[in-house]
Amino acid sequence: MTSTVVVERRRTGLDVVLGLVLIVAGLVLLGDVAVATKISIWFIAWMTLISGILLLLGALLRIRSGGAIWAAVGGAILTAIGLFMIRNPTIGALTLTLLAGALFFTGGIVRIVMAFQAERYKALLAIGGLVSLALGVWVLVDPEAATEKLLGLLLGIQILVEGLTMATLGRLRVRKAASEPAPA
Task: Look at residue 184 in the predicted model and tell me its pLDDT.
Answer: 58
Task: Look at residue 45 in the predicted model and tell me its pLDDT.
Answer: 94
Q: pLDDT tens digit string along 30-55?
A: 999 988 888 889 999 999 999 999 99
Q: Please, which pLDDT band fits residue 2 given cuts at 50, 70 and 90?
A: low
- Rounded CA-CA distance 151/147 in Å is 7
Asked whether the whole model's pTM tops 0.85, one would answer no
Task: Look at residue 137 in the predicted model and tell me its pLDDT.
Answer: 92
Task: Look at residue 178 in the predicted model and tell me its pLDDT.
Answer: 64
Q: What is the mean pLDDT of the chain?
A: 87
Task: Look at residue 171 in the predicted model and tell me its pLDDT.
Answer: 76
**7, 172 Cβ separation under 8 angstroms:** yes
**22, 162 Cβ separation under 8 angstroms:** yes
- Rounded CA-CA distance 131/172 in Å is 30
List Cβ neighbours of 142 (8 Å cut-off, separation of 6 or more): none
Comparing CA positions, the residue from 129, 176, 175, 171 lying closest to residue 11 is: 171
What is the phi-psi region of residue 121: left when phi exceeds 0, alpha when psi lies from -120 to 50, beta otherwise?
left
Task: Look at residue 147 in the predicted model and tell me its pLDDT.
Answer: 87
**25, 156 Cβ separation under 8 angstroms:** no
∠ at Cα 159 (92, 52), nearest 5°?
Answer: 40
DSSP state of 171: E
Q: pLDDT tens digit string along 121-177?
A: 888 889 988 999 998 998 889 888 888 888 888 888 889 988 888 888 877 777 777
Task: Look at residue 170 in the predicted model and tell me its pLDDT.
Answer: 78
Stronger pLDDT, 51 or 14, i.e. the higher one: 51
Task: Look at residue 21 in the predicted model and tell me its pLDDT.
Answer: 94
Task: Look at residue 27 in the predicted model and tell me its pLDDT.
Answer: 94
- Rounded CA-CA distance 34/151 in Å is 8
**1, 165 Cβ separation under 8 angstroms:** no
DSSP state of 142: -
Helix (H), strand (E) at residue 8? strand 3-10
- Rounded CA-CA distance 149/99 in Å is 14
